[in-house]
C-alpha cells in the first residue's frame, strides 16, 4: 500500500552549475555523475509504494574526516585490506580473519573490526612498517586529503530516486518543510567520539599473538 512520509532523500550537486539534481548526469551541462560528485540529503515528503517504487532505501556511510556521504565498500575489499600489508605480507591468516569477523553481520561492523585489529597489531611483522587503518572514503582517497578515514558510528539510510532520467530536484518532487514533531529516523548525527571507529554492536575480537 502506498503511503506518504517525510524521508531523507539523497541527491547530487553539480558545483559548476550550482544545480541540485538526481540521475546519471547534470541535466543542465550533462556532466556525468562521478564518485566526486557531492551526495547531499534533504528531508522531503515522498510517496513510498512497494508495488511501483519511485524511491529505494539504500545504506550510506558518512566520513568523519571530510563529512562526505559515500556508498559502503563491498565485503570482499574489506577482507582484502585486512589480510595483507602493503609489502605483500599476510597480516591475518584465515583463522585470525574468522576471529575478527565473528559475529559482525554488517559491512560497517566488519570494517570496524578491521580497524580495531590493525590498531592492535600496530606494525607489520615482516617489513616492520607502521600499520594504519585504510582510507575507506573515496572522496578522501581521490583528493588525497587523508591517508585514512574515520568510520561512522552508524550507517545513514537514504531514499534514492529510481530511474535513469536526469532531473532537477525541484522538478522531481516538491520540497517540504518537515514538521518538527515528525522524527526523521533516517538521519544520522556526525559522531565526534575519537574512539568511534572501534565501536561495534558485536563483541570485540580476541587479541592476536
What phi, psi does 76 have (nearest 5°)?
-60, -45
Task: Report yes or no on whether pTM surpasses 0.75.
Answer: no
The pLDDT-based confidence of 145 (bands split at 50, 70, 90) is low
Residues 110 and 108: their CA atoms lie apart, in Å, by: 5
Q: At what angle are helices 75-83 and 94-101 packed, to 10 degrees?
A: 130
State mean pLDDT over 44-58. Answer: 84
pLDDT tens readout for residues 72-119: 987 777 677 767 888 888 888 888 888 888 888 888 888 888 888 888
For the chain, the residue count is 209
Least confident interval from 1-15, 31-45, 56-70, 137-151: 137-151
Task: Supply the pLDDT for residue 149.
Answer: 65
Query: Could you tell me which residues come within 8 angstroms of residue 2 by beta carbon, excluding any fewer than 6 positions away?
Result: 47, 48, 49, 51
Q: Is there a contact between 61 and 152 (Cβ–Cβ < 8 Å)?
A: yes
Judged on CB neighbours under 10 Å (0-12, 13-18, 19+), 150 is: buried
Least confident interval from 26-40, 70-84, 183-197: 183-197
Amino acid at each position: 500500500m502506498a503511503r506518504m512520509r517525510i524521508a531523507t532523500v539523497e541527491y547530487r550537486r553539480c558545483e559548476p552549475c550550482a544545480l541540485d539534481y538526481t540521475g546519471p548526469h547534470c541535466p543542465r551541462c550533462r556532466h556525468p555523475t562521478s564518485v566526486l560528485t557531492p551526495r547531499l540529503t534533504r528531508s522531503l515528503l515522498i510517496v513510498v509504494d512497494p508495488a511501483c517504487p519511485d524511491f529505494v532505501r539504500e545504506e550510506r556511510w558518512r566520513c568523519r574526516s571530510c563529512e562526505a556521504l559515500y556508498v559502503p565498500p563491498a565485503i570482499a575489499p574489506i577482507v582484502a585490506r585486512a589480510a595483507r600489508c602493503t609489502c605483500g605480507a599476510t597480516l591475518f591468516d584465515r583463522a585470525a580473519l574468522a576471529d575478527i569477523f565473528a559475529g559482525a553481520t554488517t559491512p560497517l561492523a566488519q570494517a570496524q573490526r578491521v580497524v580495531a585489529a590493525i590498531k592492535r597489531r600496530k606494525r607489520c611483522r615482516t617489513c616492520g612498517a607502521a600499520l594504519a587503518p585504510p582510507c575507506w572514503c573515496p572522496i578522501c582517497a581521490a583528493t588525497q586529503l587523508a591517508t585514512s578515514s574515520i568510520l561512522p558510528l552508524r550507517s545513514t539510510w537514504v531514499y534514492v530516486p529510481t530511474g535513469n532520467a536526469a532531473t532537477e530536484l525541484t522538478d522531481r518532487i516538491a520540497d517540504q518543510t518537515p514538521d518538527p514533531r515528525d522524527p526523521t529516523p533516517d538521519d544520522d548525527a556526525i559522531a565526534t567520539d575519537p574512539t568511534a571507529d572501534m565501536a561495534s554492536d558485536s563483541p570485540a575480537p580476541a587479541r592476536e599473538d
